[in-house]
Amino acid sequence: MLQNINPADILFLDIETVPVAPSFSLLDPKLQLLWEKKSKQFRQADQTAEEVFSRAGIYAEFGKIICISAGFIKEKNPFHFRLKSFYGDNEASILKEFSSLIIRFSKSKEMILCAHNGKEFDYPFIARRMVINRIAVPEILDTAGKKPWEVKHLDTMELWRYGDFKSFTSLDLLTTVLGIESPKNDIDGSMVAGLYYDEGDKERIVQYCERDVVAVARVLLRFMNLPDIDEANIESVTFSDQSV
């Protein structure tokens, strides 16, 4: 399958999410009751719903997107990689801008999305939050009724399984065993909500998200037995007035 894919057709992505409220006490009362029910699925008997509220960000019903980073191969021989991130407090704006990017990118390419654990997290999370924000879900994210071969989604975690579905392999672990620089050298996902709500350090979150995208691209190129992307050939236009 991978040998038939043009790397330039792939849009690599990663999202960063946080709970919809800074704390359980500030959550809408109705959602508090629903989180009480939801969190019973995983919290210990001696834990309260408030104590596990930090995990709310991984559920589309209780979390929101604060950053979507995307990247693509701009040139070959050698590979050049361009990154763009959409981030901030206005989730609807982030989602609309990302949707516009998908539309622009797909006009001249047989677009395929690629993320790590994307099939179970990034892709459905984006689609669900679009529905919540009354934004049309782009065709590539609308998988309802499609045959498996019609869904243009790659997932580096799924590819690494090679048919073995017993365990979860983090991007940090996968990059380490493949000799690729880990994107988790500065922060990890558990720190994002604190950086967002307590410190307001959105730029650090964006940089972390973009490192994840680069790591996913490098992992996929390894699966395809293609050359790595040199650090000097990676360009981010996030904090400039350029467009992707």
Is the separation of the CB atoms in 95 and 129 below 8 Å? yes
The residue ranges of DSSP E strands in 27-135, in sequence order, are 63-75, 80-87, 112-115
Using the predicted structure, report yes or no on whether residue 119 has a pLDDT greater than 80: yes
What domains does the chain contain, in order, with CATH numbers? 2-20+62-228 (3.30.420.10)
- Of residues 75 and 103, which shows the higher confidence score? 103
In angstroms, rounded to a whole number, what is the distance separating the alpha carbons of residues 35 and 199? 25
Q: What pLDDT digit, counting tens, does each position of 141-172 carry?
A: 999 889 888 899 999 999 999 988 877 899 99
* DSSP secondary structure code for residue 194 in this structure: H
Is the separation of the CB atoms in 115 and 216 below 8 Å? yes
Cα 236 to chain centroid distance, Å, stands at 17
Residue 59 has what pLDDT? 98
pTM of the predicted protein model:
0.94
Is the separation of the CB atoms in 31 and 88 below 8 Å? no
Is the separation of the CB atoms in 17 and 69 below 8 Å? no
Three-class DSSP category at 151: coil
Is the separation of the CB atoms in 18 and 193 below 8 Å? yes
Residue 242 has what pLDDT? 46
Residue 79 has what pLDDT? 94
Using the predicted structure, report yes or no on whether residue 126 has a pLDDT greater than 50: yes
Q: What pLDDT digit, counting tens, does each position of 47-98 carry?
A: 999 999 999 999 999 999 999 999 999 878 899 999 999 999 999 999 999 9
* C-alpha radius of gyration, the chain, whole number: 18
Q: Could you tell me which residues come within 8 angstroms of residue 223 by beta carbon, excluding any fewer than 6 positions away?
A: 2, 156, 159
Q: What pLDDT digit, counting tens, does each position of 180-226 carry?
A: 999 888 888 889 999 999 999 999 999 999 999 999 999 999 999 99
